[in-house]
Amino acid sequence: MSPERGQASRVNPLVTAGDVLTLQPCDYCIGQTVLSLQVTYVPRYANFLASRWVRLEGLELRPDGTPWRERVVMVRVQAIIDAPTARPGPETRER
């Protein structure tokens, strides 16, 4: 049985290291601008859908996609479900 959209599994977690998230200000704590974050660390509990917020670590990306600075952010789980991440590699498609 495969998980439905928005459900994490061991095979297909909601977010993994290397994913790039584009977050609106309302989707992360104390957000003031759109944030592009390349995830570098995901705690073990991060993919539990019982949580409303998840703590992620990553590199904030400039508008041109180059790394800028390290960030630790609290992200709404629903935002990750509603707008899936871009995963690097040959299977990445334009969104």
| More confident: 95 or 88 | 88
- Report whether 74 contacts 51 (CB < 8 A): no
Question: How many CB atoms lie under 10 A from the CB of residue 48?
Answer: 11
Q: Could you tell me if residue 25 is inside a domain?
A: yes
Q: Structure tokens of 10?
A: 């061991």
Alpha-carbon distance of 32 to 26, in angstroms, equals 8
- Report whether 14 contacts 26 (CB < 8 A): no
Q: What is the pLDDT of residue 86?
A: 75
Nearest C-alpha neighbor of 61 from the set 36, 85, 86: 36
Q: Could you tell me if residue 2 is inside a domain?
A: no
Q: Average of pLDDT values for 45-49?
A: 64
Q: How many domains, the chain?
A: 1
Phi/psi of residue 37, nearest 5 degrees: -130, 125
State which residues form the domain around 62: 20-82
Confidence of residue 88 (pLDDT cuts 50, 70, 90): low
**11-39: pLDDT as tens digits:** 567 889 999 999 999 999 999 999 999 99
Q: Could you tell me if residue 67 is inside a domain?
A: yes
